[in-house]
Amino acid sequence: MRLVFLFIVFFSFAFAKAQTYELGIFAGTSNVVGDVGSTQYIQFNDVAIGGVFKWNRSPRHSFRATIISANMVGDDNDSDDISRDLRGLNYDYTMLEASVGIEYTFWDWELYSGRPQFTPYLYTGLTAFHYELFALNNTNELEEYGETTDIAVPIIFGVKMSLTPKLILAAEIGARYTFTDNLDGSSPVRSKDFDNLKFGNLNNNDWYVFSGVTLTYTFGRKPCYCNF
């Protein structure tokens, strides 16, 4: 993760004279939408923090990259579902996510206009995330048995505004559709012995959600949008 961060910093300053860039932090909360824990789609219990880099390539779109580390916790005792509450399963692990894609603004985003800027935006792209694997053990508790990396498709909605000509504040909620059903240990993989340990809805993959704010610093000369 340190090498990736250093690469982003080097890349940013190497091209700072060519276009407009943003570099900053993300801070917020995280939760899994799966078969263990609360049935709420958005929760504010666990911490997610990371870095964000943007290349504002036109007044309506930016290329964006993020790296986020998040604590993922699920506890059946937090659920309104009586069957989950009686079951009493729980998990706790750290997820590391890296994402690249395009951020599209609903209104023109012109940092060099001299006027305060505000716009809603949508972001999508491709996400890779690394996480720990869980499965039921002999005492019917979720137990870690390994780790893996999977991919997801992010769908993020947010709003952003310029605090100063150099500082940008944004608030966003982003769901990630994954291609696995085992973010919560309900569908363990890698062994046929795990087939009897699966539970919950086996027809739907899991989602996870990051909700939070970003604060970025923008730099570089006024961009030329004529070539792209």
Report the distance separating Cα 66 and Cα 103, nearest Å.
12
Report the distance separating Cα 138 and Cα 126, nearest Å.
37
Helix (H), strand (E), coil (C) string for 44-57: CCEEEEEEEEEEEE
- Model's pTM, two decimal places? 0.85
Class of residue 51 by CB neighbours under 10 A (exposed 0-12, middle 13-18, buried 19+): buried
Does position 180 have pLDDT exceeding 90, yes or no? yes
**b/e string for 202-226 if b means 16 or more Cβ within 10 A?**
eeebbbbbbbbebebebebeebeee
Report the distance separating Cα 81 and Cα 185, nearest Å.
18
Q: Torsion-angle region of residue 111: left (phi > 0), alpha (psi -120 to 50) or beta?
A: alpha
Report the distance separating Cα 210 and Cα 71, nearest Å.
11
Helix (H) or strand (E) holding 3: helix 2-14
Report the distance separating Cα 31 and Cα 58, nearest Å.
33
* Residue 65: HSE in the Cβ half-sphere, 13 Å Cα cutoff: 12
pLDDT tens per residue across span 46-100 = 999 999 999 999 999 999 999 999 999 999 999 989 999 999 999 999 999 999 9
Band of residue 202 on the pLDDT scale cut at 50, 70, 90: confident
Report the distance separating Cα 97 and Cα 76, nearest Å.
25
pLDDT of residue 1: 52
**DSSP codes of every residue in 104-169:** EESS---TTSSS--EEEEEEEEEEEEEEEEEEE-TTS-EEEEEEEEEEEEEEEEEEEEESSSSEEE
pLDDT of residue 223: 57
Task: Give 7's contacts (C-beta < 8 A, 6+ positions apart).
Answer: none
pLDDT of residue 3: 44
